């Protein structure tokens, strides 16, 4: 069989026409492995010549139902060797004989270089970018590091640490954290020491990285609270860290990936709290009961009045705006008001990444030939400050829906007006401009085309209607929920002379709610 294959290949090449490996297989009808072996032996024996360079050709292969696949085929050409010639040239292609190449002495592998570096610095842990920088002069490139480290990890020679979730592990900003495992020590002790080294490296990194600093503080506060038998709330962490809500969410997510012993529990299926796994079940249950009572007192009333304020503002807008068409949006949380709108951001705004929420959006068309005007509402129950106005302006400016790029920079689209409704403003608050001038907060908002709606504005409308006792502040405090706010306002608007009686009836209906709140506050 061997001599037959040899003679058939030589017979095919006897016409001195160059052929590729695939052409030889096709024309002889022989197997690919048999032809491959014969061609190599004939070239080595000096019977045939091979092209000096390799050719490349794009191929399209029909795979039936699988469709058409494309690949890049690389191949040499072969030709019969003329008598007395060691090389020839055909159509610009040079064919050469076989020459044995001397193999270079093997050098130190990249994996060995990385392992020796980690071993010589066995008391430290390094990020993958740091390893690449330290071994740059030895030929190590950034992609080489993790390729080699994963092989060393499979052999149990190094410890690799990153952000770990349920199904995968992601690197830190500077790459994975890597350290040596001492094989001379018991395995459990060696791994424990490796974890401690990575922990020290993370603590050192926290001095220069705001994210790592927040992660460390989250862990410290959770451990501290758990030792005292308490839970740590999301708002408490935000106040202590002095960061935005979105920055804290990122820090908590990363902290829970780094330290699986940090656990999350939701009270009333809404308020996020955190504890350490070292807290036993009985202490955890007691801590949750205490937090439930606290949330009923603080957040229950605060949320109730805040949502009532949104409904109150919406009612007045709907009442006094002719042809107002409110935008609606479906949310994953079915309990969320459909008139609350999520905006998409083209860049982050004070920690908000990708999206932000506004309370209401409505459109008004002044006339048949006039362009519609869009109003975007933001409500706040409490004292309104300059940073609240700035934050609202930035959200509108950088939103995909209401912002636009202009030659002078990003701005709010023409025909879009922001409306900020606050229950209280400091009339003596002055805003200092860049030129040193000081103006009032309403004047500052007007410069940015933002209208300020105050509780006194709505109260004036009630006075004009004939109400003597009712105020929007009192309505928000008395009403049980948003629906009751609308009911009270409708009743007062129909019978303004009975405003005190209507509020008294609502207060009587909700007396149990007020008594319960007073009891939790220790005043009952």
Instruction: Read off the CATH number of the domain in which 160 is found.
Output: 1.10.10.10
Which tens digits make up the pLDDT trace of 450-468? Answer: 888 888 889 999 999 999 8
Please tell me whether residues 38 and 125 are part of one structural domain. Answer: no
CB-CB contact of 177 with 126 (8 Å): yes
Please tell me whether residues 19 and 142 are part of one structural domain. Answer: no
Please tell me whether residues 10 and 134 are part of one structural domain. Answer: no
Question: Domain for residue 228, yes or no?
Answer: yes
Question: Domain for residue 294, yes or no?
Answer: no
pLDDT at residue 353, rounded to an integer? 80
- Whether residue 520 is predicted with pLDDT greater than 60 in this model: the reply is no
Which tens digits make up the pLDDT trace of 95-123? Answer: 999 987 665 556 678 999 999 999 999 99
pLDDT at residue 105, rounded to an integer? 54
Please tell me whether residues 330 and 434 are part of one structural domain. Answer: yes
pLDDT band for position 499 (cuts 50, 70, 90): very high
Please tell me whether residues 361 and 491 are part of one structural domain. Answer: yes
CA angle 395, 400, 403 (to 5 degrees): 65
CB-CB contact of 478 with 488 (8 Å): yes
What is the count of structural domains for the chain? Answer: 4
- Whether residue 391 is predicted with pLDDT greater than 80 in this model: the reply is yes
The Cα–Cα gap between 189 and 195 comes to: 10
Please tell me whether residues 133 and 177 are part of one structural domain. Answer: yes
Going by the DSSP 8-state scheme, the letter that residue 75 receives in this structure is E
Element (H, E) at 453: strand 450-454
Which residues constitute the domain of residue 185? 110-206
Which tens digits make up the pLDDT trace of 232-242? Answer: 999 889 888 88
Question: Domain for residue 284, yes or no?
Answer: no
pLDDT at residue 118, rounded to an integer? 94
Which one of 245, 279, 313 terminates a domain? Answer: 279
Q: Tell me whether residue 470 is exposed, middle or buried, using C-beta atoms within 10 angstroms of its C-beta: 0 to 12, 13 to 18, 19 or more.
A: buried
Which tens digits make up the pLDDT trace of 53-63? Answer: 888 888 777 66
Please tell me whether residues 202 and 234 are part of one structural domain. Answer: no
Q: Which residues contact 306 (CB under 8 A, 6 or more apart)?
A: 379, 381
**SS3 letters across 364-390:** ECCCCCCCCEEEEEEEEEEEECHHHHH
Question: Domain for residue 296, yes or no?
Answer: no
Please tell me whether residues 123 and 26 are part of one structural domain. Answer: no
Element (H, E) at 341: strand 341-344
400: phi then psi, degrees, rounded to nearest 5: -70, -30
Please tell me whether residues 156 and 222 are part of one structural domain. Answer: no
pLDDT at residue 2, rounded to an integer? 56
Question: Domain for residue 361, yes or no?
Answer: yes
Number of Cα atoms under 13 Å in the Cβ half of residue 21: 19
Which tens digits make up the pLDDT trace of 248-303? Answer: 999 999 999 999 899 999 887 678 999 999 999 899 999 998 888 777 656 567 77
pLDDT at residue 320, rounded to an integer? 85
pLDDT at residue 284, rounded to an integer? 93
Question: Domain for residue 286, yes or no?
Answer: no
Which tens digits make up the pLDDT trace of 348-385? Answer: 887 778 888 888 898 988 777 778 899 999 988 888 88
Please tell me whether residues 219 and 180 are part of one structural domain. Answer: no
Which one of 206, 222, 241 terminates a domain? Answer: 206
The Cα–Cα gap between 447 and 443 comes to: 6
Q: Which of 121, 364, 395 is nearest to 246 (CA)?
A: 395
CB-CB contact of 114 with 94 (8 Å): no
pLDDT band for position 519 (cuts 50, 70, 90): low
Which one of 158, 179, 206 terminates a domain? Answer: 206
Element (H, E) at 49: strand 48-51
pTM of the shown model? 0.46
Question: Domain for residue 101, yes or no?
Answer: no
pLDDT band for position 4 (cuts 50, 70, 90): confident
């Amino acid at each position: 069989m061997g001599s037959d294959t040899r003679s058939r290949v030589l017979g095919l090449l006897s016409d001195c026409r160059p052929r590729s490996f695939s052409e030889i297989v096709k024309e002889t009808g022989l197997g690919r492995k048999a032809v491959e072996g014969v061609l190599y032996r004939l070239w080595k024996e000096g019977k045939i010549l091979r092209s000096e360079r390799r050719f490349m050709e794009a191929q399209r292969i029909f795979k039936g139902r699988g469709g058409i696949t494309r690949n890049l085929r690389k191949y040499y050409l072969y030709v019969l060797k003329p008598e007395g010639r060691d090389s020839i040239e055909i159509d610009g292609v040079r064919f050469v004989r076989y020459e044995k190449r001397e193999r270079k002495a093997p050098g130190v592998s990249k994996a060995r270089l990385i392992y020796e570096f980690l071993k010589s610095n066995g008391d430290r842990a390094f990020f993958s970018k740091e390893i690449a920088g330290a071994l740059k002069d030895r030929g190590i490139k950034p992609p080489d590091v993790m390729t080699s480290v994963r092989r060393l990890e499979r052999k149990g020679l190094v410890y690799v640490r990153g952000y770990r979730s349920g199904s995968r592990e992601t690197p830190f900003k500077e790459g994975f954290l890597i350290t040596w495992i001492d094989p001379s020590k018991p395995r459990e002790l060696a791994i424990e020491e490796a974890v401690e080294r990575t922990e020290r490296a993370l603590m050192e990194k926290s001095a220069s990285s705001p994210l790592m600093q927040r992660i460390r503080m989250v862990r410290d506060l959770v451990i501290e609270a758990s030792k005292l038998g308490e839970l740590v709330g999301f708002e408490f962490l935000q106040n202590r860290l002095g960061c935005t809500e979105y920055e804290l969410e990122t820090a908590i997510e990363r902290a829970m990936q780094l330290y699986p012993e940090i656990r999350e529990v939701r009270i009333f299926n809404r308020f996020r709290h955190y504890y350490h796994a070292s807290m036993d079940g009985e202490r955890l249950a007691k801590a949750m009961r205490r937090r439930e009572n606290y949330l009923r007192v603080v957040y229950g009333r605060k949320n109730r009045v805040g949502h009532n304020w949104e409904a109150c503002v919406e009612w007045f807008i709907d009442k006094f705006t002719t042809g107002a068409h409110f935008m609606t949006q479906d949310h994953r949380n079915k309990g969320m008001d459909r008139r609350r709108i999520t905006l998409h951001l083209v860049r982050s705004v004070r920690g908000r990444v990708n999206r932000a929420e506004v309370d209401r959006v409505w459109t008004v068309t002044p006339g048949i030939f006039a362009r519609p005007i869009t109003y975007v509402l933001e409500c706040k129950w409490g004292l309104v400050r300059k940073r609240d106005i700035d934050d609202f302006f930035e959200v509108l400016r950088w939103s995909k829906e209401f912002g636009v790029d202009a030659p002078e920079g990003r701005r709010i689209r023409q025909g879009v007006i922001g409306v900020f409704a606050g229950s209280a403003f400091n009339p003596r608050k002055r805003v200092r401009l860049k030129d040193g001038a000081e103006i009032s907060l309403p004047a500052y908002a007007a410069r940015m085309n933002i209208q300020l709606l105050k509780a006194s504005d709505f109260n004036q409308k009630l006075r004009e209607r004939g109400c003597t006792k009712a105020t929007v502040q009192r309505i928000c405090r008395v009403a049980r929920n948003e629906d009751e706010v609308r009911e009270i306002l409708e009743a007062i608007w129909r019978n303004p002379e009975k405003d005190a009686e209507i509020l008294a009836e609502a207060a009587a209906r909700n007396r149990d709610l007020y008594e319960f709140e007073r009891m939790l506050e220790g005043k009952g």
